Structures are given as structure tokens and as C-alpha cells.
Amino acid sequence: MAAPDTMREREAGAPPAPAASSRTREVARLLVSNRLALAGVVVLGALVLLALFAPLIAPFGINEIAIDRRLEAPSAARPFGTDQLGRDIFSRVLIGTRISLQVGFVAVSIALVFGVILGLVAGYYGGKTDDALMRLMDVFFAFPAILLAIAVLAILGPGITNAMIAIGIVYMPIFARITRASVLSVREEVYVRAARSIGAGDLRILRLHVLPNVAAPIIVQTSISLAFAILSEAALSFIGLGAQRPDPAWGLMLAEGRGFIQQAWWMAFFPGAAIFFTVLALNVVGDGLRDALDPRQKSAIESRGMVGS
Amino acid sequence: MVLLGVSVLVFAIVHLVPGDPIQVALGTRFDPATYEALRERAGFNQPLPVQYVQWLTGALTGDLGVSFRSGQPVMTTILGRLPATLTLAFAALLVALVIALPVGIISAVRRGSVVDYTSTVFSQLGVSIPDFWMGILFILLFSLTLGWLPPSGYTPLTEDPLGWLSRLAMPAVTVGVVSGSVLTRFVRSSMLEALGQDYTRTARSKGLAQRVVVNRHVLKNALIPFVTVAGLQLAVLLGGVVIVEIVFAWPGLGQLALTAVERRDYPVLQGTVLLLALTTVLINLAVDLAYAFLDPRIRY
């Protein structure tokens, strides 16, 4: 995975700082040695490929209605069966991968960008700015996540785009908090003070000296947030506030399938299973990343490995 | 301070909606007399800061306005739904604790054993499973296939205790499994931390039995951080309850909030959101206080 990347970088004649290179390789090595995390990475990679090539793989159109074939049980031709309009569920679940990954990606990007900026500013400048920003984040934390998303969607109106914004807002405070905490710990480091003493501007210090050194917890949080963003989107679509008909979003398909649960279990089963596996893969990768990036955890894994061998 | 911020945010919901919220809420049932009455009742004819102060003083005295739809006081509607949500939340927390405490403790004490490995796998699965999907699968299995439990609905405990339990079981387990999976991890890690402490080694070197060491020395210390997590989890659990209520047609605040969104009944939505946020803040406060009580080293 990351190992060939490092090699390519070296061949390209852009030698990264030795510390960064060995760090990347170390993380890659730990990820690979953690078989579970590796499996998660593989599943995730497969999902991304499926999402990219879904229109080519899908045997039927997502809105190809065939009333005479409605509520057909899974068969060789239609592995996941058909829904109440005779649409092929396999094709719809496949295309649904795109929606889920896209929503997760966009929502987490919103949370990441705004949260990290707020956290950097709060942690680096401290004082009143810090107080004001963190109290504001505390306010957001007072709401159960899904309820905050529902409230935001009540204002913006239902829809998949608004769901992305709502989820982004919900997960922003956690990024702000994590970034701030790490910034506080590196703010007074010698290298930051040295940069300041040679006259580097705040923006330069933040970008070149602070951000790279607080990246690890942010990366871990990103992969975990992706899992929960996808879960949240599915929940919002399930209750009718996210994706709208006839989009093949997993949460929405599950909601439709719920009405036919007695006649056609497959309608609710497969979209739900798709959500489950995607979220699981992301969580496993997130855990693997945390183990690899957090030195305290790293020793735990390595010691377990020694006991095992 | 946080509560003040929460109140501003909740107050803002109705005013951030594009267009005239009352006109939108009334939709096709629009008639000028109702419109004016609701406007008057909601205080929309006054400047915004005045509206906020009025709304806040109202909320503090238990007046959350009237529903745009039914004309009923929001407080009455919410109080009617509260028992169902609280029942489900506490039952789910109970399920979560019954799973998390024994499993977490055993996997920490027998670290690296089959039990530990299995529980790690299951907690990973439990954290990742969509609760609404699990709920539907439960209905499919226990109601439609086996016919053991009623698929949905709510019976008050006072009317029919057995019916109450049979209807509570599936939603409570659904929410509880997810929370229990999260909590299991925390029990395990805080137990492991306590197991590695000097006092544990001292207790062991005194020749105390494993059971005594675990019960007296490790458990007591491990439970302190756990109380915080369990408290925070109760807040997360409320979020889960909101969704699972919809799966099981459980007449609680989650359903109320969703219906309010669908019908654009903003006062009801505001009241529900405010109440749940308030509950979350109070839980956090209670957790902080419990922390000080459990750990004599902390004094406020």
C-alpha cells in the first residue's frame, strides 16, 4: 500500500525528510502486520472500485421498472431479488455505494476543513479566541448527534446535499476539539519557538510546523468519522430526511423495504448489509490506523505479536 | 453558559427557516385568521431580541408555546411522550451495562484469551451495525418468523406489565447492543490500565487471591473513568433511541421530533430538541459530580 508510494517518491527525486519517510513506512508496516486492518483496507479499496465502476458492473438500470417481475426472490439472474417496482436490488445497492461514499467523503471534508481551522486558531492563539470558539463547540456537543442533524435538516429542508452539510456540521466540533488539544501540546515546542524567533509568520508556522505535527490524531479521527458519517446518512435517509426517491441510497431502500418486510425480506436485508460492511471496514481501518499512529498503542500490539509468535 | 448557547441555537431554528415559518407550516390549510392568531401567539410581531427573551422566560416557566398543527401546548405534548422515551433509554442502558461490565472485565483479566478475542470482534461488529437495520432484522426474526414478540407499539407498564415488557424487549436490545459494544471496549481498556498499576502489583505481591485483587483493587479504580464514559454514552444512546423509536413505532420524543419536522411544526421541534439537549447537559453535569464523589482525589 503505502510502501510503494514511498519508493515512488524516492525515485521521483523528491526525497522526503528522513523522519517522515521512516514514519510512513513504519505506519504502513504496522498496518500490514495487523491482518484485520489490512483486510479492512482491501475491502475499502474494493468498495471504492465498485463505486467507480458501478454503472459498468450493474446488470440492470437502477430505475428500470418491471412490474411483472416485482418482489422476486433472489435468484442467479437477480442475486438480491427485486423490489416492489421490479427494480433489480443488486444494481441499486451497487450504485448506492457511490452515494454513501460520496456523502461520507463530502460531509467529513466539511467537518475536517472547518473543524481543523477552528481548532488550529483556538489552540494557537489561545486566550479569549480559544474560550469563545470552544464554548461554541460545547454548545454543539450538547445535542445528540442525530438530533442536531435533524434540526439542521428542518432548517435547510430534506435532501442529500443538505444531509451532507448537516453531517458536516455535526462532526465539525470533534475535529476542532482534537486539533486544539494537539496544538496546545506542540505550541510551545522548541521548533515552533525557533520558527517564530526567525520571524516566520503565524500562517507559515501553522502550515509548516504545527499542522504536520498534529496530523496523526486528525487522520485517525477522519477514518472513524467517515464510518459514522455514512451511518448517519443512512439513518437520515431511512427516516426520510436524506436522499429522496427514486435515488438508490441504502438508507432509503431500507426504509422502502421495511414496508414489504413480510413479503420480501431481501428488500431491507441487502441495503442494510451494505451499510454494515462499509461501516465495519472503515472502523477496522480506523482502529488499525490508531494502533499504527499512536505510539502508546503500538507497543501494545507489538508485545501481543511477540506473545503470539 | 452552554445552556444559554443551546437556547439561542434552538430559538434560531424557527427563524433560520427560509420564508415565513407559519405560512409554510399552514401550507394549504392557510386562512388569515388562523395565521394571525398563530403569529400573535408565537410573538412573531415583535423584534427578535424581545421574542427571544419572551421565548426563554416561557421555556423556563414550562411554556414552550403551542403546536402550529394541533394548537395544543407543546409542553403537554412532550410530557405525554417523555415516559416512553425514558423507559426505552434506561432499559437500553441496562442492557448495555449487562453486556459491557462482565464481558469487558473478563476480557481484560483474561487478556489475549478466546473470550477476549471474541468480545473484541463482537464489539467491533456492534459498533458498526446500523441500529435501524438490526431492529428490522429483529422484527423479521422474532415477530414475523417466530411470532414470539409483537413487532411494534408501546403499552404503559401500569396497564399491562407483560405487554410492556414484550414490546420493550426488542427496541431496548437494539439500542443496548450498540451502546454495550462501545462500553465493553472502555471497560476493557480502563481495567487493563488499572491492572498495570503499582497498587495491583503490590496487592498481588502480598499474596492476595486473583479474585480479591480484581474485586477490591482493580475494579474500584477502573470504574471511575468508566462512569464518565457511561454517562456520555447515555447521551449518545438518546440519539439511538430517536431512530429506533421510528423502527418500532415507539411513541416517544424521536417520533415526535420527526413528525414535527415533516409537518413543519417548529414549536414542537424546538421543544423536543431543547429538552433532549438539556437532558444531555444535565447528564454531563451529573457525571462530573459523580466523578468527584467516586474519586476522593478530585475536589471542586
Looking at A12-159, list the stretches that DSSP marks H as alpha helix, in order from N- to C-terminal side.
18-33, 35-57, 89-125, 127-141, 145-156
Do B286 and B200 share a structural domain? yes
What's the number of CA atoms in the CB half-sphere (13 Å) around residue B4?
Answer: 4
A70-87 pLDDT, tens digit per residue, is: 777 788 778 888 877 878
pLDDT digits (tens, 9 = 90+) for A85-109: 878 888 888 888 999 999 999 999 9
- Asked whether residue B73 is assigned to any structural domain, the reply reads no
Q: Is A135 on the interface with B (CB under 8 A)?
A: yes
Is residue B112 scored above 60 in pLDDT?
A: yes
B56 and B86 assigned to the same domain: no
Provide the pLDDT for residue A116: 94
User: Is the bond preceding A246 in cis, omega lying within 30 degrees of 0?
Assistant: yes
C-alpha distance from residue A7 to each of A19, B26, B226 (Å): 15, 64, 44
DSSP H/E element including A276: helix A265-293
CB contact under 8 A, A139 and B280: no
Task: Establish if B150 belongs to a structural domain.
Answer: yes
Domain with B172 in it: what CATH number?
1.10.3720.10
Q: Is B5 on the interface with A (CB under 8 A)?
A: yes
Say how far residue B64 (Cα) sits from the centre of its chain.
21
Residue of B15, B124, B128 to mutate, testing the A interface (most A Cβ within 10 Å of its Cβ): B128
| Same-domain pairing of B19 and B94 | no
Do B143 and B250 fall within a single domain? yes
B72 lies in some domain: no
Instruction: Answer whether B24 touches A (CB < 8 Å).
Output: no
Residue A274 scores a pLDDT above 90: yes
Number of domains in chain B: 2
Residue B121 lies in a domain: yes
Whether residue A42 is contained in a domain is answered as no
* Facing B124 at nearest CB: one of A146, A147, A283: A283
**Residue A24 maps to a domain:** no
| pLDDT of A155 | 87
Q: What is the mean pLDDT of residues B272-295?
A: 81
pLDDT higher than threshold 90 for residue A110 = yes
Q: Is A241 in contact with A153 (CB distance < 8 Å)?
A: yes
Q: Which residues of A touch B262 (CB under 8 A)?
A: 240
CA distance, residue A203 to nearest chain B CA (Å): 30
Mean of pLDDT values over B57-80:
82
Alpha-carbon gap, residue B72 to B64, rounded angstroms: 10
Residues 6+ apart with CB under 8 A from B172: B88, B91, B92, B94, B95
Question: CB-CB: which of A136, A276, A284 is closest to B5?
Answer: A136
| Rounded-to-integer distance, Cα B211 and Cα B204, Å | 11
* pLDDT computed for residue A70 by the predictor: 76
Whether A173 is in a domain gets the answer: yes
Mean pLDDT, range A209-229, rounded to an integer: 87
Name the residue among B256, B271, B260 with its Cα closest to residue B59: B271
- Residue A269 vs residues A12, A235, A250, B284: alpha-carbon distances, Å: 48, 15, 10, 37
Considering the domain architecture, whether residues B56 and B127 belong to the same structural domain is answered as no
- What's the ipTM? 0.84
Q: Is residue A159 part of a domain?
A: yes
Q: Chain B window 97-116: which residues touch A at a Cβ cutoff of 8 Å?
A: 112
pLDDT of residue A20: 52
What are A14-27's pLDDT values in tens digits? 344 445 566 677 77
Range with the poorest average pLDDT among A81-95, B28-42, B193-207: B28-42
The amino acid present at B74, given as its one-letter code, is V
Q: Is the pLDDT of residue B13 over 90?
A: no
Whole-number Å distance between alpha carbons of A25 and A51 = 28
Q: What is the mean pLDDT of residues A264-276?
A: 91
Q: Domain of A264?
A: 51-66+74-303
pLDDT for residue B127 is more than 90: no
Mean pLDDT of chain A: 81
Highest mean pLDDT among A151-155, B56-60, B159-163: A151-155
Task: Enter the DSSP assignment of A60.
Answer: S
Whether the CB of B122 is below 8 Å from some CB of chain A: the reply is: no
- Counting residues of chain A whose pLDDT is more than 90, the rounded percentage is 25
Q: How far apart are alpha carbons B181 and B94 in whole angstroms?
A: 13
Q: For residues B204 and B253, state if they share a domain.
A: yes
My answer on whether B95 and B53 are in the same domain is no
DSSP class of residue A71 equals T
Q: What are the beta bridge partners of residue B17? A: none
B153 & B252 share domain: yes
Q: Which of B257, B232, B231, B264 is nearest to B242 (CA)?
A: B257
Write the burial class of residue A53 (CB in 10 Å: 0-12 exposed, 13-18 middle, 19+ buried): exposed
> Same domain for B85 and B15?
no
Supply the CATH number for residue A87's domain. 1.10.3720.10
| Residues contacting residue B64 through CB under 8 Å, at least 6 positions apart | B58, B73, B74, B75, B78, B267, B270, B271, B274
Q: How many residues does chain A have?
A: 309
Domain holding B41, by residue range, is: 2-60
Residue A20 inside a domain? The answer is no
Q: Kindly report the nearest CA distance between residue A155 and chain B, in angstroms.
A: 5
- Do the domain assignments include residue B106? yes
Count of the separate structural domains present in chain A: 1
Name the least confident of A190-204, A222-236, B34-48, B189-203. B34-48
Is B215 contained in some domain?
yes
CB contact under 8 A, A261 and B129: no
B187 in any annotated domain:
yes
- Cα B188 to Cα B111: distance, rounded to the nearest angstrom: 9
Residues in A touching B1 (Cβ below 8 Å)? 135
Q: Are A29 and A281 in contact (CB under 8 A)?
A: no
Residues B37 and B119 placed together within one structural domain of the fold? no
Residues B274 and B159 in one domain: yes
- CA distances, A86 to each of A63, A67, A246, A247, B119 (Å): 9, 5, 13, 15, 41
CA B136 to chain CA mean position, Å: 20
Inspect the interface and report whether the beta carbons of A283 and B127 lie closer than 8 Å.
yes
Tell me how far the alpha carbon of residue B157 is from its chain's centroid: 20
Would you say residue A155 lies in a domain? yes
Reply yes or no on whether the pLDDT at A42 is more than 80: yes
**pLDDT in the model for residue A109:** 96
Q: Are B110 and B49 members of one domain?
A: no
* Alpha-carbon separation of residue A244 from A97, A160, A241, B46, B174 (angstroms): 16, 7, 8, 37, 26
In a domain, B178, yes or no: yes
Contacts of A118 (CB under 8 A, 6+ apart): A133, A137, A172, A175, A176, A179, A180
Distance, CA of B114 to CA of A259 (rounded, Å): 40
- In a domain, residue A205? The reply is yes
Q: Is the pLDDT confidence value at B206 over 90?
A: no
Residue pair A264/A87 in contact by the 8 Å Cβ criterion: no
In angstroms, the CA A67 to CA A64 distance is 10
For chain A, the first-to-last Cα distance in angstroms comes to 25
Q: Which three three-digit cell numbers place residue B275?
A: 429538552
